[in-house]
Structure 1
Amino acid sequence: MITAVVFDLDGVLIDTEPVWEEVRRAYVAETGGTWLPEAQRRLMGMSTAEWSRYLGADLGVGRDPERVATEVIERMAGRYEQRLPLVPGAVDAVRRLAARFPLGLASSSPRRLIDRVLVVAGLADAFTVTLSTEQVAAGKPSPDVYLAAAERLGVPPSECAAVEDSSNGLRAAAAAGMAVIAMPHAAYPPAPDALALADLVIATPEELTTEAVARLR
């Protein structure tokens, strides 16, 4: 049986993948780096330490990772203050599932942004566990953050369902042994091999019902 549900954040609850790309692209350009065609695909799922090193070294920003992370996160926080792009129906979906299951959050966003989003969205009390990939050894597609969420929930990974949108997120959840729910982003669709790992594919949070989750196992 499914006894807990773990959500991703970016692309599932908030539509911020376009914001991340815009902010990072501008930052790379301003610092004399070069944005590569595969950059956004590779960045999705990376932890803060991983993407800040990638921007600094691979994309030619030429600044130390700590400075890159601080400056990019500050820009993202400013964008969230202007407008939080919640996915329509996401808050209701979280509340609906929280009435039946303990919930976790396993995000590649930094801790500062996770906490801010949950407060602004009014969901700070909905999750039993919230984790950033900053808090584990490796970001997605490594299963580390999902395994840590299951451990803190006190539930075997095989009894958890994970809700994801990106290729690396889907791979991470599947590698953790969780039932995988894919909600692909139209502008950033997952790779076919990653989508094939999903036990359930939905188009909108409205399809994320307790009955659909319970049927996964």
Structure 2
Amino acid sequence: MNTALEALIFDVDGTLADTERDGHRPAFNAAFAEAGLDWHWSVELYGELLAVTGGKERMRHYLAQYRPDFELERRAFPNLEALIAHLHRRKTEHYVSMLRAGGIPLRSGVLRLLREAREAGVRLAIATTTTPDNVTALLESAPEPGLVDGFEVIAAGDVVAEKKPAPDIFELALAQLNLPASACVAIEDSENGVRSALGAGLEALLVTTSSYTEQQDFAGATLVVDQLGEPGDPATASVGDLGGAEYIDLAVLRRLREQVFG
């Protein structure tokens, strides 16, 4: 199979930026406090909750596992789903405000790789369980105007039936790109993301571990590194081989794709 590398498909949270611990978590807590709830997600608890993808799904899981005694005050919300929808909306608004204030930078090497891909004509896509607003706000907060416009496809949020680890969101991104999986490299940071990408046939798979995912199982990933890296701020591989490179660039990703698909 002689397909060239035509597209990169990125996850967002933990991959483009380390958003979970210091972004989404405090935004959830702000929404809970604002609603008069005594819920509080510590750093450790949130790490456990991340086993469930999707913010609304995470809240339902939290109630089922940690607060089964919770009783809804129906004067404020007619049912639990209405409360969860309200909390998720306010959480997103808090999170976007944090992004616009510049509180969550892109990870090492992300901007460099995006620029290199754009200059080389390699197409860019996103496949994420977070909301489209979160994606746009993160990219618009980056130190480069118009970065969001470089992504041809943004597959995000509730646009598919099942979230990661189901393959739906990656399958949607591939369909919108109109490319086979063999023409792409997926870039993820979590076990759920790895399972999702592999389920969509994206076997050329790079993992950049994040603060919450370092100890997860990345079986099936072709290359696992601690970051994309920069000149003078090198990436370190725990699975696979950088081939002597200091950081992840298109040459590394082309070799990765060829290693899997030929």
With 149-158 and 205-214 compared, the bigger mean Cα shift is at 205-214
1:49 to 1:26, Cα distance in 2 relative to 1, 3 A: closer
2:176 maps to what in 1?
152
State the match for 2:206 in structure 1.
181
Query: Is 1:4 aligned to residue 10 of structure 2?
Result: no
Cα 1:70–1:52, aligned 2, differ >3 Å: closer, same or farther?
A: farther
Q: Which runs of 5+ in 2 are unaligned?
A: 73-79, 230-246
Q: 1:93 is matched with which residue: 113, 121, 124?
A: 113
> Offset of 1:124 from its aligned partner?
1.4
Cα distance in structure 2, aligned partners of 1:210 and 1:27: 40
**Partner residue of 2:97?**
78
The letter of the residue matching 1:96 is E
Q: Is 2:128 the counterpart of 1:107?
A: yes
* 1:54 and 2:61 correspond: yes
Counterpart CA distance in 2 for 1:57 and 1:20 is 20
- Is the Cα–Cα contact under 8 Å of residues 181 and 201 in structure 1 kept in the other structure? yes
Structure 2: which amino acid aligns with 1:69? H
Q: Considering Cα pairs closer than 8 Å and 6+ residues apart, tell me whether 1 or 2 has the greater RCO.
A: 1
The aligned residue for residue 159 of structure 2 is 135
Q: Would you say 1:210 and 2:213 are equivalent positions?
A: no
Please tell me whether residue 21 in structure 1 is matched to residue 25 in structure 2.
yes
Identity across matched positions, percent: 28
Structure 1 stretches lacking a partner, 5+ long: none
Q: One-letter code of the match for 2:124?
A: L
Normalised to the residue count of structure 2, the TM-score between the two structures is 0.72
- More displaced, 151-160 or 16-25? 16-25
Q: Which structure has the bigger radius of gyration?
A: 2
Q: CA deviation at 1:175?
A: 1.5
CA distance, structure 1, for counterparts of residue 228 and residue 52 of structure 2: 20
Query: How big is the alpha-carbon RMSD for the aligned residues of Structure 1 and Structure 2?
Result: 2.5
8 A contact 1:167–1:190 mirrored in 2: no
Normalized per residue, the structure richer in helix is: 1
- Pairwise mapping of residues 185-200 of structure 1 onto structure 2 (< 5 A)? 185=210, 187-193=211-217, 195-200=218-223
Please give the alpha-carbon distance, in whole angstroms, between the structure 1 residues aligned to 2:220 and 2:49: 19
**How far does residue 16 in structure 1 lie from its aligned partner after superposition?**
0.8
User: How far 1:25 sits from its partner (Å)?
Assistant: 4.5
Q: Secondary structure at the match of 1:181?
A: strand
* One of 187, 195, 205 as aligned partner of 1:163: 187
Aligned length: 215
Letter in 2 for 1:70: R
